[in-house]
Amino acid sequence: MPGNMQKMMEQAQKMQEQLQKQIAEIRVEASTGGGMVTVKMDGQKHVLSIAIEPDAMEDREMLQDMIRGAVNEAAKRVDDEAQGKMGGMLGGMGLPPGLV
């Protein structure tokens, strides 16, 4: 039995490493204000770029709100994609419902 447990732990560690790689490769994009502000983010929630249309710069408060909204939406999309990858990987392990 201890040999099986060790193999399971090794398999779980390999799966965790694969999952971390998959999450690191995630790239998402979110826009607000009809595309006036666009944020690109990676799987670790690092902002890769922010594009701002010139018209958006006329109202500072509105621009701040649009940037905040785009960043928050991008972070949510990263979470959703990571959750999907995790659920797909863990779903094959036969875990009881609620643990995936």
| pLDDT tens digits, 26-47 | 999 999 999 999 999 999 999 9
Instruction: Tell whether the model's pLDDT for residue 80 goes beyond 90.
Output: yes
Instruction: Tell whether the model's pLDDT for residue 64 goes beyond 70.
Output: yes
Number of compact structural domains in the chain? 1
Q: Which domain holds residue 58?
A: 26-82
Instruction: Tell whether the model's pLDDT for residue 71 goes beyond 60.
Output: yes
Residue 1: per-residue pLDDT: 56
1 in a domain, yes or no?
Answer: no
pTM assigned to the model: 0.76
52 in a domain, yes or no?
Answer: yes
Question: In the structure encoding, which two tokens stand for residue 60, read together?
Answer: 């500072």
4 in a domain, yes or no?
Answer: no
